[in-house]
Structure 1
Amino acid sequence: MSLPTMHLEAVLFSSAKPISIEMLEEVFELSKEEVQDYIDTLQRELEEKNRGIRLRVSGAGIELVSAMESADYVGHIRKREDKLSNAALETLAVIAYKQPITKAEIEEIRGVNSDKIIKQLLTRSLIAELGHKDTVGRPILYGTTDEFLRSAGVESIEALHQEVSETEG
């Protein structure tokens, strides 16, 4: 089956969230390799034609995003969106690096109460409850979500840890 990349672009554009390769295989009735070829082709076309959108692959799936070259202009639109506070970013970084982690462990690292920030991160689906620690009181364990991976633009927590290691070294 010959699939024009415009169909892949349309499907990705119409989705409110990243789409897995498995879902694209099902939608287009193609093998994983064929889907990957179309993804690579579309990615190349968008870059070569200097389009305002790009493909981003993360642990959450594949999605269309605005081109980095357009960041200043897109930023004007996005200014009104809620930004995470420095405290929320710090808490998110601790969770991403140490997960699974309890609230008490987060607070021990940060040195301040983190109730409000944890609730905010849960509401934004950047973190999730992963279960309970097998200790006295069975505290909740927190970890990052696919939405966090998508927002951070990384494929996996391991890839994020690798990036951090490279910048530290």
Structure 2
Amino acid sequence: MEPVSLLRSRLESLLLVADEPTSAEDFARLVDAPVAEVSATLTEIATEFSDRGMGFELREHQGGWRLYTRRQNSETVEAKVLDGAQSRLSRAALETLAVIAYRQPVTRSQVAAVRGVNCDGVMRTLTLRGLIAEVGVTGEIGGAHLYATTELFLEQLGIDSLDALPDLAPLLPEVDQIDIG
């Protein structure tokens, strides 16, 4: 078997440590190679992984490249993830995440009003896990922090945008109708 090129070896190493999709331009800068050569090598790697039926695949998503587990293996990967290797989200966290996903951007008070309980701890957990993030402040005096879901949230669900969420929004009250008094 013929050894891979130094460029390919470096790109594969970078792909393994990338925690978000990375553009060909960024890879080219990191490996000091022409963008066209990097793009061609990334496409070659993706094709080879696909042709060989590897357990992972290299995909380009929104202008960035990243390694993913093969879609056909999702049940097996999900079983491992849910087997305690990573802790599951609590019911409270899932409910809070749903409110934020469907009504973002929202304040802690608005989420608490929908859920009927204080959600500070849950929101802190979701923020630490990278599933939600602070995206601004309200225009009101004292400016409450506004929260929204992150790209990691979309990636974890395997969707490209919030438009792909099931149509549950009509079941939740509009943010401006929530009484936080």
TM tier, smaller: 0.7 to 0.9
| 2:34 is aligned with 1:30 | yes
Given the alignment, which residue of 78, 92, 97 partners 1:92? 97
| 2:118 is aligned with 1:113 | yes
Shift of 1:124: 1.0
Whether contact under 8 Å (1:87, 1:117) holds in the other structure is yes
How many percent identity over aligned positions?
33
Output the CA distance in 2 between the equivalents of 1:111 and 1:40: 50
Output the CA distance in 2 between the equivalents of 1:18 and 1:24: 12
Give the match's secondary structure for 1:101.
Answer: coil
Number of aligned positions between the proteins:
161
What TM-score do the two structures reach when normalised by structure 2?
0.69
Give the match's secondary structure for 2:125.
Answer: helix
Shift of 1:92: 1.8
| 2:40 is aligned with 1:42 | no
Pair 1:36–1:167, CA change in 2 (3 A): farther
Give the match's secondary structure for 2:134.
Answer: strand
Where does structure 2 lack aligned partners over 5 or more consecutive residues? 170-181
Shift of 1:102: 0.7
Output the CA distance in 2 between the equivalents of 1:105 and 1:166: 20
Whether contact under 8 Å (1:131, 1:140) holds in the other structure is yes
| 2:105 is aligned with 1:104 | no
Output the CA distance in 2 between the equivalents of 1:59 and 1:94: 26
Residue equivalent to 2:137: 132
Pair 1:36–1:88, CA change in 2 (3 A): farther
Shift of 1:107: 2.5
| 2:71 is aligned with 1:68 | yes
Where does structure 1 lack aligned partners over 5 or more consecutive residues? none
Given the alignment, which residue of 32, 52, 57 partners 1:54? 57
Mapping 1:1-40, distance limit 5 Å: 5-13=8-16, 15-21=17-23, 22-28=25-31, 29-31=33-35, 35-40=38-43
Higher RCO (C-alpha 8 Å, min separation 6): 1
